[in-house]
Amino acid sequence: MAEGDRMHALVRRLYPLCRSITGDGLRETLAVVGEHLDLTVHEVPTGTQVLDWTVPQEWNIRDAHISRDGRRIVDFQALSLHVVGYSVPVDRTMPLSELRSHLHTLPEQPWLVPYRTSYYAPTWGFCLAQSTLDAMPDGDYEVVIDSTLEDGSLTYAEHVVPGQVEDEVIVSCHVCHPSLANDNLAGVAVAVELAKSLRNPYHTYRFIFAPGTIGAITWLARNDADKVKHGIVLACAGDRGSLTYKQSRRGDAEIDRVLAHVLRDRPHEIREFSPYGYDERQYCSPGYNLGVGSLTRTPYAGYPEYHTSGDNPDFVTPESMVDTLTVCREAVDVLDRNRRYVNLSPYGEPQLGKRGLYESLGGRSDAKDAQLAMLWVLNLSDGDHDLLAIADRARLPFPSVAAAADALHAAGLLKEA
């Protein structure tokens, strides 16, 4: 199976599971991911203090419905979005006039079911299409939410690919959204495929699969963030829109420069940091200020299907996920190969021919770029410019510049700064 098809199959398999910030649906999701990657799964008990937050009670749900005359009109078994996340148990019969205050719809999108949660304020509710509500006559309805909210734990998982150095690159995905294919599952699928493809990387790569906000905060509270040198939060990775990169809080972190370079010749948008969005806002909080940006296709809230039943597996495409994966792989290549060098023959241009460097270019289709890359690397290798800066200034592909540096280093013309 091609990687695009593999990623799409994983999205389809995970889609029906009812994920939340805690609970068995989250564990089931991580168990499926664990079939593809070696995961270390962490359980953090309810009540644990994590920075300024406290791990909440665990929520689990078995069934829920709104019924009349034995017919389910709204059915959790058909779509997990139908129940407001973290709804407390209910088993009542009530008139529609009373039930309405617990119903959530999208009047401007009458055929779609919205996604709603209430993690930290005990309540209950149902989400349904406005068209369904419009067809419900007045009268009594049986309302059942078979759920529990009790002490348990918060679950998150990590997969680590050891590198040649202990400096870490984190790739973080939120795994708390029920039945939303683009806004969470496509990012998970891309992260899984990226992790599987890494072989003896330079950096250590840590993949974090955690519930949004509270999960990232819990991870930060329990880990040494000083090891994190770069990072990407992956989300909305499978829609048909062009790629968008949101910069880290620093704005000029190496990861920001890397993504700008990798995206340079593709349709894309670069956005400045804002403290709203996904978990980049936790990693970039001022006490940490990590070099972590966010990579999406169409950003959060930027497409009509966002946080609705329209964000289903048919909304994401294998081709879009492959494109996102390709950009991630190119970014990894730049991060792992970027170095600073010093020219050991800086007075005048060194003779490349006698070192066999020109001859090595003979017959290559990219001979001109390769020659230019050597000259640029020699000229800017002063200990201050890294290879990425050279590639940007020369308007050359990073792999050409890195290959030139490798050749010049092997010939004794460069040393690492």
Binding site listing for Zn(2+): 177, 183, 307
Dihedral over Cα of 101, 104, 105, 106: its sign: positive
Cβ atoms 246, 294 nearer than 8 A: yes
Cβ atoms 295, 237 nearer than 8 A: yes
CA torsion angle 211 217 223 227 (round to 10): 100
**Owner of token pair 């519930």:** 211
| Nearest partner of 219 among 38, 30, 42, 25, judged by Cα | 42
DSSP one-letter code for 117? B
Cβ atoms 148, 88 nearer than 8 A: no
Burial 54-90 (b: 16+ CB within 10 A, else e): ebbbbbbbeebbbeeeeebbbbbeebbbbbbbbbeeb
How large is the angle between the packed helices 3-14 and 318-337, nearest 10 degrees? 110
Cβ atoms 132, 156 nearer than 8 A: no
**Total count of residues recorded for the chain:** 417
- The helix (run of H) or strand (run of E) holding residue 246 is strand 243-246
Q: What is the DSSP string of 125-168?
A: -EE--HHHHHTPPSSEEEEEEEEEEES-EEEEEEEEE--SSS-E
- Binding-site residue numbers are 177, 183, 307
Q: 219-223 long-range contacts, Cβ below 8 Å, gap at least 24?
A: 219/156, 220/50, 220/51, 220/282, 220/283, 220/288, 221/49, 221/50, 221/51, 222/42, 222/44, 222/50
**In angstroms, what CA-CA distances link 166 with 162, 204, 206, 287?**
8, 6, 11, 22
Q: 74-78 long-range contacts, Cβ below 8 Å, gap at least 24?
A: 74/126, 74/128, 74/132, 76/18
- Two structure tokens written together for 133: 């509500």
